[in-house]
Amino acid sequence: MRQISSALLATTALAATLAVPALNAAAPRPTGTARHGDSRPATSPPPDARDRTDAPTAPPTATETGTKTGTTARETASAPPPHSPTTPTRSPRTPSAALPSGPCALPGAFPGTLTGVSEAAATPRGFTRATGRVRALTVLIDFPDVRAGISPRARYGEFFPAVPRFFRQSSHGRLDYRSTPILKWIRMSRPLASYDIGRGTSFNPASKNGYYAVAKEIVRTVDRNVDFRAYDLVNVLVTPNAGPPATKNVWSVTFSGGPLGLRTGDGTQLRNISFIWSRQTGPSAYRVLNHENAHSFGLPDLYFTDGRADPHPVGHWDPMDVDWGPENDFLGWHKWKLGWLTPDQVDCVHRPGSTTTHRLTPAAVPGGTKIAVIPVSRYRAYVVEARRTGPLDPTACRPGVLIYRVSSVTPSGRGPVRVADATPKSAGCYRKDPNVRAGLTDATYRPGQTFRAAGLTLSVLRSASNSPDAFRVRITTPKRP
């Protein structure tokens, strides 16, 4: 991280009064969409405590050794699964960037303790790393009363190779995601309803039902042929005709952050497991798995879970808010948190009363500074980044500078990130797809526009070259009170 100055900008008065300008007026939820899957801690809280974000620590998983002899699994990255069996082998890690550090790397709510999924720069142990080679075991299940109507390969093909491709592009090649599928339907022993699964179901080892019961049967079925020590996370793809349609209710969920109370035959504690139900809507429906796996990397839900009329404070600017419809890239803050940005791609602006100018390039453009971070309290910061239409940003129809506030003390599902809308009265510039939160698609600030809040001023400057691949931003921080 490139630090612009040497003193930390942090005042109680500023933290109390700083606010994002009014977001776009409340709008009805897009037709045909559904809320995302949850992220829940490995401690398996009861349904009425599902928004907790704490989770126990756990040591890293054992050294990767591969699948046991005789398995039908095969590792895949950017190609369809091969037909013959193999054993995953240990290989060199993809080069990764340093994790966030310095005065702009926000700590968690309770330093020295666990915070689970959050916007804090540091992710607790027990979650899956998001750089280098990450191995996922992917299994498929159906039920005696809801049998799969498609082949295992067809269901697997709904997500792969698209998932690793997305991670490779978004991470600038720093995440080498590999999936090893078991290409057969694992039939559960009981009818679907008997497991008592719905939105909010926990992973409770004391229960004979729920996700623990499902996972226990999966482990019992594959344990002889799979060495779980070889994998960083587990994906469970449920037959898409089980459960409600995604347009009505989304059951997909991730349990992450620590041991789940289920030990495999090789002594591994099961952890970081995602269950994918039904089918998401839109042309890039695979991204529900990217969303869920990102919970295993430590990212929170950005949408509101309290049932408000307008639950999307970030919209299509990050898949942790909206993961349906056209593709969308991760916010620069998330890329920094996950280790996908190098230190010199981050400008830290933390000197009170300073004025600095920054040249920002969009994520799709190689090299250059990607984000500028302005901390306004110990746990809050404003982030500035350039966004334009690109391979992972087809809805970024108004090239410009995206400004948003990050809070590392706001829980998952309570709006830890808020995008500032440069055109709050506009209907948006991308209205082709009902799955897109159109009102925020033109939230970016253009040259000549200025954002102000409690003494902080962010001005997008006009460029002499008028280059679409770079934006200059002047940042003036308030003086100490």
Residue 56 confidence (pLDDT) above 50: no
Tokens in use for 400?
């410009």
| pLDDT over 70 percentage in the chain | 78
> Closest Cα to residue 67, out of 181, 198, 210, 188?
181
pLDDT digits (tens, 9 = 90+) for 372-413: 999 999 999 999 999 999 989 999 999 999 999 999 999 999
Tokens in use for 281?
């809507």
Q: How does residue 455 score in pLDDT terms, banded at 50, 70 and 90?
A: confident
State how far the Cα of 383 lies from the Cα of 199, in Å rounded to an integer: 33
Q: How does residue 309 score in pLDDT terms, banded at 50, 70 and 90?
A: confident
Burial label for 89, CB within 10 Å (0-12, 13-18, 19+), is exposed
Angle at 459 between CA 456 and CA 464, to 5 degrees: 160
Residue 89 confidence (pLDDT) above 80: no
Please list, in sequence order, all residues whose beta carbon lies within 8 angstroms of the beta carbon of residue 192, skipping any fewer than 6 positions away. 143, 145, 146, 242, 243
Q: Which pLDDT score is estimated for 310?
A: 83
Q: Which pLDDT score is estimated for 80?
A: 41
Q: 9 in helix, strand or coil?
A: coil
Tokens in use for 386?
């350039």
Q: Which residue has the higher pLDDT, 356 or 85?
A: 356
> Closest Cα to residue 347, out of 361, 366, 365?
361
CB 364 within 8 A of CB 390: yes
pTM for this model (two decimals): 0.84
State how far the Cα of 144 lies from the Cα of 155, in Å rounded to an integer: 18
Q: Which residue has the higher pLDDT, 116 or 297?
A: 297
> Closest Cα to residue 285, out of 159, 173, 115?
159
Residue 153 confidence (pLDDT) above 60: yes
Average pLDDT, the chain: 83
CB 9 within 8 A of CB 376: yes
Residue 94 confidence (pLDDT) above 70: no
The mean per-residue pLDDT over the stretch 295-299 comes to 97
Q: How does residue 5 score in pLDDT terms, banded at 50, 70 and 90?
A: very low
Q: What is the 3-state secondary structure (H, E, C) of 400-428?
A: EEEEEEEECCCCCCCCCEEECCCCCCCCC
Q: Which pLDDT score is estimated for 42?
A: 65
Q: Which pLDDT score is estimated for 103?
A: 94
CB 187 within 8 A of CB 142: yes
pLDDT digits (tens, 9 = 90+) for 214-266: 999 999 999 999 999 999 999 999 999 999 998 888 899 999 998 999 999 99
Q: How does residue 83 score in pLDDT terms, banded at 50, 70 and 90?
A: very low
Helix axes 162-170, 287-296, angle to 10 degrees: 60
Task: Name the amino acid, one letter, at 426.
Answer: S
Q: Which pLDDT score is estimated for 113?
A: 57
Residue 74 confidence (pLDDT) above 90: no
> Closest Cα to residue 451, out of 391, 374, 398, 352?
374
Spell out a b/e string for 349-387, using b for 16 or more CB atoms within 10 Å of the CB, else e.
Answer: bbbbebebebbbbbbbbeeebbbbbbbbbbbbbbbbbbb
Identify the weakest region by mean pLDDT among 45-54, 165-174, 176-185, 323-332. Answer: 45-54
Q: How does residue 40 score in pLDDT terms, banded at 50, 70 and 90?
A: low
Residue 30 confidence (pLDDT) above 70: no
State how far the Cα of 470 lies from the Cα of 370, in Å rounded to an integer: 10
Residue 446 C-beta-side C-alpha neighbours within 13 Å = 7
Q: Which residue has the higher pLDDT, 99 or 271?
A: 271
State how far the Cα of 44 lies from the Cα of 256, in Å rounded to an integer: 10
The mean per-residue pLDDT over the stretch 105-131 comes to 86
